[in-house]
Structure 1
């Protein structure tokens, strides 16, 4: 009975405070040297103050969170929740120390970052942007408003769910993310993302040529774009898309350099008469 009374337990208010510090300050004092270290440390302050009333104990415990940390800020919220659970267990005398917590963080931040970057940045955001672009036709602000509201709601409630799941399940929470079920879900979402990106490509990217060959009498005997459309409509669009994919995925060219290359190709194409921007001076 006495052991139960002396057991330290984190209340919902403390956990919610910790979550909000991570949600709003995950990238606090962000630098190449520390990345998300200080944001992580800040989110753990309410936890440590609740579990360790003595100031010296708080100082000793906080050293576990001074190590380098960097992961996907959204999906990585589950790690913060797991840490809160581990810290609670440590405060109750379990065989957990700062080294164990650091080993857990170091082991999870890489896989979670890879999953989060592909699932959130590479799939979810393009899907939302694709829907928003479709709603913004004709200059309508509805698409931008839709994206802002939906993204904020997904980011907040999604991260909150992950935080409290991580706390309640401990290290078991990661099993879904990196296990077979998680792989199946990510594969299904990636297929949907590819479909949306393909739809955006077909709707918003249009590459055509204005090249026409004329005979001695001045009449056009070859309209290259018409010939391409009769053989493979949208061939130039597909070619440019695969060219950009080849640059970034195979040659590891950054997005900025890829855009500069496209600008250079466009300028040369206009000078040679292959492209017509339709400008008048």
Structure 2
């Protein structure tokens, strides 16, 4: 009873469980610090997932090296997910391995299948929210701070600190949620459609954020000007800025997006931008403001 109380005093390890809170925290830290360990196209993040089990495997099968090898082999299979949002899968896997070690009739394939079925949805929502919303918003704020001039570097420092704090906090919360709740809560979360609603909302917000970034950070200015009867007509000032402000930056961004959809590499796109910039700059079609 004393052992159970010690393990659950901070709400991390579960009552009657084999995994200590110290090992659980070490497992989470390994996952957050080394998610790309031995990354390869055969197993993706599989070996990093197995690395996560290093602190707990001997607690689960203290006197059974064969069971330890079996667990590590099972957890090193193909796995790929967003690091912070997908950390709950690793916490859940530890919980299931713990139940299995205590005699629960959990087949090996069940643990693998649960991990495989959850990694896709959580990778999708993680990439959408983290890379499409959190990072652009934070970058936009911090870039503006840096561009204030005077050798100001606080924007860069603030971004580095905040993105690390956010990543560690989110990863830790998800990891411990997965461990405490187990597979049932995560699957229920998906079946109720909560994930799809979050994903839809994040996609809409991501589009709004990207639109704001295009207006502020993409610059394309037309330099074409006509003269008639002593009156100059500038396409940029008298047409685009009057009727369709920022239409050229939007067109350039959507053109690059279309090339990416047609599987153009980033190197080819950068090369094309350089060529277009040189040609249009020399001919006066585009100008620098």
Which range, TM-score by smaller chain? 0.7 to 0.9
Q: Offset at 1:26?
A: 1.1
Name stretches of at least 5 consecutive residues in structure 1 with no aligned partner: none
Matches of 1:178 and 1:27, distance apart in 2: 30
Deviations 1:243-262 (A, max 9, x none): 2233334x343444333322
TM-score normalised according to structure 2 size = 0.85
Name stretches of at least 5 consecutive residues in structure 2 with no aligned partner: 5-15
Give the conservation status (yes or no) of the 8 Å contact 1:133–1:143. yes
1:260 aligns with 2:271: yes
Q: Offset at 1:208?
A: 0.7
Q: Offset at 1:181?
A: 2.5
Q: SS at the partner of 2:47?
A: helix
Give the conservation status (yes or no) of the 8 Å contact 1:63–1:98. no
Give the conservation status (yes or no) of the 8 Å contact 1:26–1:39. yes
Name the residue aligned to 1:109: 119
Q: SS at the partner of 2:78?
A: coil
Name the residue aligned to 1:71: 81
Q: Offset at 1:144?
A: 1.1
Deviations 1:151-192 (A, max 9, x none): 101100100000000001111124335642333333333333
Matches of 2:160 and 2:206, distance apart in 1: 19
TM-score normalised according to structure 1 size = 0.87
Name the residue aligned to 2:219: 206
Distance change >3 Å, CA 180–CA 8, structure 1 → 2: closer
Distance change >3 Å, CA 60–CA 243, structure 1 → 2: closer
Q: SS at the partner of 1:138?
A: coil
Name the residue aligned to 1:83: 93
Give the conservation status (yes or no) of the 8 Å contact 2:96–2:111. yes
Name the residue aligned to 1:158: 170
Matches of 2:263 and 2:171, distance apart in 1: 31
Matches of 2:182 and 2:17, distance apart in 1: 16
Q: Offset at 1:75?
A: 1.2
Give the conservation status (yes or no) of the 8 Å contact 2:225–2:233. yes
